[in-house]
Structure 1
């Protein structure tokens, strides 16, 4: 028996050491990640970099990387995802993120959208390796965000940044490609450029960036909306390659450069700008309304090649505009005319047809309304029903049929002194105002007479009753 135990003892010891050796072997990187990912072990701290073997086994964990959607709430979640997946096929959403920095670390490609919202603690977004966002790069309600540092980001499908009130620095690759839409609203950015390889956008909307002083991009076509408004009053807008757009609305700028613009499919509006000049010499057609309104410094314009405005033509309250004569080749207006301001003259030598009505009102007595008035036996270019022209206190009205026949006309205001002066002297202006005022008072007296007579009739009726 003693010999038997002696014989079995080495075998037992060897077996025991063999088991200890197997249990003591270091697990593979895949096993370690399996433990972390399945909840069998503790989550990696975000500030602890794992062994390099973790990085060498990403390919074996492709199921996680192929998920349609990842929700990140803390930096540890993002770090763990980055270690496992350099390329992510789905989207990433950050919501109520509590850390101050979003660092994409080893992540290079995001196939879906990148959504970061409602995270008031975030101060900076960075990623030294991130090259692609296949969907929308969406940021909203990041009230503490100061900087975006993604210097290698070369491809984005769309940018939509809203309510980032202290964002002052956004650094992307200077030659970003793939963009179909850009919306930047409510930021503290001073310049927007770096989109020099973007040729076509559906939407280009830059608004409410109170310190924004310069926009420069080489976009050639905007297929839906181009809107620039409510930025710094000193904003310089430079779109040197833009050739066509569906709708354009530009407000609150100090200079506008659209030297190659040829076509606007719908409306074109310039409102409350501080520009002194507006040159669109290559523009030929406007598919909707052309509106130029409340541009207080605007005095020099060139729309010399525009032949058709298929909507209305609105030119109103441009204080320094003395003449409306910048549409020398305009042949047709598809809607109504609305002119109002201090202008002294209008000149449309090629205009043959206005399909809507016309309202023309100037505070200047120099304006000659006879340019727009058609003789009773003539054929009017206005076909929309009514022409009303007001020059100083003189008013002329014509009702016109759709085929251009003048149905009737009327004139208000006095012209009895017009033979003695040309309307330019102070006495001439004063006499016109006085005459018009007298006419107004006469009308008021008649109203009073009728009113008193009606009151007396009512009184007698009550007395009889």
Structure 2
């Protein structure tokens, strides 16, 4: 039943109030349980408050009439709704929430351009969406659908963007330029693969990317936090314009097909570097200009060659292990170990390097964000550079290994 959704003033003012077009919701929420109740909103240009659809609404609800909803538009735990639409709604001041709406297959909001948050989860039959396109949102979550396209979501800036478990989604391309908090992409395109193209992305706070066949960020310059790549299917990854991470880690773990990494302009990793269990990666030579690592370096894999020709400061530990014979490399690198290990202190934390370790790919736990065992000030000029001549190990998930090594 519709909850006294219009202030009594509407009745008093009649057509004049309807023309003014502002309807204030009694108690802050209008509950819609049928199309007849949705139609009662048609005279409201602006609904001040939230609109909530009940759990049993019938198969189709059209909320045409209102242009703005200042609060939320919310549908949860509804097993009836198959289509939801509005030909007039342009903005939702709160969250547009669809959660556990098990029969919905189509969403048509042809003029919707702005929401505070888009939260669509557990919509296992959703295959079609039409939006304004959506050009303004702080947060977007799209999870557990059968969408093949996210066309209609046309954002340039967003705080959080989470795309997960959309089993038929094979391609995602966006003009996103900045991501203020996080980008999460995982478990999409099951059995098919997902390609991701973000040609305009220049700045991101944090990224966690998994199960993609391609991830393209040709313009990315700065990652403020961490960039983590786990269990992907791509053979090659390149960040041609990335110059530094402010305080976070770079991590590649368990990317079985990965055989090539390229970071030609990366000079500083504010946190740690973790490369692990990327079994096809034979060389670690992607970091030709890397000078400083603010955390630890941990490498695990089958690599036979490792090169960091510009590296002069590691504020944490260095832990390297390969299934291959890298004894010569270990000996060469030992000169940069801490003073208490007989080196010149370029590496501030504990230095460890092992060859012919059959279990190198199994040991992927670690913390690269902790500087670990620092016994003095950083000496960035203590070594002109470090050349690693061992096999590429793979970037393991960034966590906490420095002091524990």
2:52 alignment counterpart: 93
Aligned residue among 171, 180, 189 for 2:138: 180
Question: Rg bigger for which structure?
Answer: 1
1:48 alignment counterpart: none
2:211 alignment counterpart: 252
Question: Given the superposition, is the C-alpha separation of residues 66 and 238 from structure 1 closer, same or farther in structure 2, using an over 3 Å criterion?
Answer: farther
Answer yes or no: is the 8 Å Cα contact 2:267–2:290 preserved in 1.
yes
Please give the residue correspondences for 1:37-52 in structure 2 after superposition, counting only pairs within 5 Å.
none
Question: Given the superposition, is the C-alpha separation of residues 151 and 247 from structure 1 closer, same or farther in structure 2, using an over 3 Å criterion?
Answer: same
Q: What is the alpha-carbon distance in structure 2 between the residues aligned to residue 261 and residue 63 of structure 1?
A: 45
Q: How well do the aligned residues superpose, as a CA RMSD in angstroms?
A: 2.8
Q: Say yes or no: does 1:77 pair with 2:37.
A: yes
Please give the residue correspondences for 1:235-250 in structure 2 after superposition, counting only pairs within 5 Å.
235-250=194-209
Q: Which moved more, 1:324-333 or 1:71-80?
A: 71-80
Deviations 1:152-175 (A, max 9, x none): 22222221101111111111123x
Please give the residue correspondences for 1:406-417 in structure 2 after superposition, counting only pairs within 5 Å.
none
TM-score (normalizing by structure 2): 0.80
Instruction: Give the CA deviation at 1:372.
Output: 1.4
Q: Say yes or no: does 1:365 pair with 2:329.
A: no
Question: Given the superposition, is the C-alpha separation of residues 356 and 259 from structure 1 closer, same or farther in structure 2, using an over 3 Å criterion?
Answer: same
1:318 alignment counterpart: 278
Instruction: Give the CA deviation at 1:378.
Output: 4.2
Answer yes or no: is the 8 Å Cα contact 1:317–1:340 preserved in 2.
yes
TM-score (normalizing by structure 1): 0.70
Choose between structure 1 and 2: higher helix proportion: 1
Question: Given the superposition, is the C-alpha separation of residues 147 and 402 from structure 1 closer, same or farther in structure 2, using an over 3 Å criterion?
Answer: same
Question: Given the superposition, is the C-alpha separation of residues 269 and 393 from structure 1 closer, same or farther in structure 2, using an over 3 Å criterion?
Answer: closer
1:392 alignment counterpart: 356
2:294 alignment counterpart: 334
Aligned residue among 150, 153, 163 for 1:192: 150
**Where does structure 1 lack aligned partners over 5 or more consecutive residues?**
1-32, 39-53, 406-465
Q: What is the alpha-carbon distance in structure 2 between the residues aligned to residue 89 and residue 404 of structure 1?
A: 58
Instruction: Give the CA deviation at 1:329.
Output: 0.8
Secondary structure in structure 1 of the residue aligned to 2:172: strand
Answer yes or no: is the 8 Å Cα contact 2:23–2:46 preserved in 1.
no
Instruction: Give the CA deviation at 1:304.
Output: 1.3
1:270 alignment counterpart: 229
Q: Say yes or no: does 1:379 pair with 2:354.
A: no
Question: Given the superposition, is the C-alpha separation of residues 62 and 377 from structure 1 closer, same or farther in structure 2, using an over 3 Å criterion?
Answer: closer
Please give the residue correspondences for 1:22-33 in structure 2 after superposition, counting only pairs within 5 Å.
none
Higher relative contact order (CA 8 A, sep 6+): 2
2:110 alignment counterpart: 151
Question: Given the superposition, is the C-alpha separation of residues 103 and 370 from structure 1 closer, same or farther in structure 2, using an over 3 Å criterion?
Answer: same
Secondary structure in structure 1 of the residue aligned to 2:36: helix
How many pairs are equivalent?
350
Q: What is the alpha-carbon distance in structure 1 between the residues aligned to residue 242 and residue 292 of structure 2?
A: 15
1:137 alignment counterpart: 96
Question: Given the superposition, is the C-alpha separation of residues 72 and 313 from structure 1 closer, same or farther in structure 2, using an over 3 Å criterion?
Answer: same
**Where does structure 2 lack aligned partners over 5 or more consecutive residues?**
1-6, 359-371, 379-405
Secondary structure in structure 2 of the residue aligned to 1:326: coil
Aligned residue among 375, 378, 381 for 1:402: 375
Secondary structure in structure 1 of the residue aligned to 2:241: coil
Secondary structure in structure 2 of the residue aligned to 1:91: strand
Aligned residue among 199, 202, 216 for 2:159: 202
Deviations 1:12-59 (A, max 9, x none): xxxxxxxxxxxxxxxxxxxxx98x989xxxxxxxxxxxxxxx988723
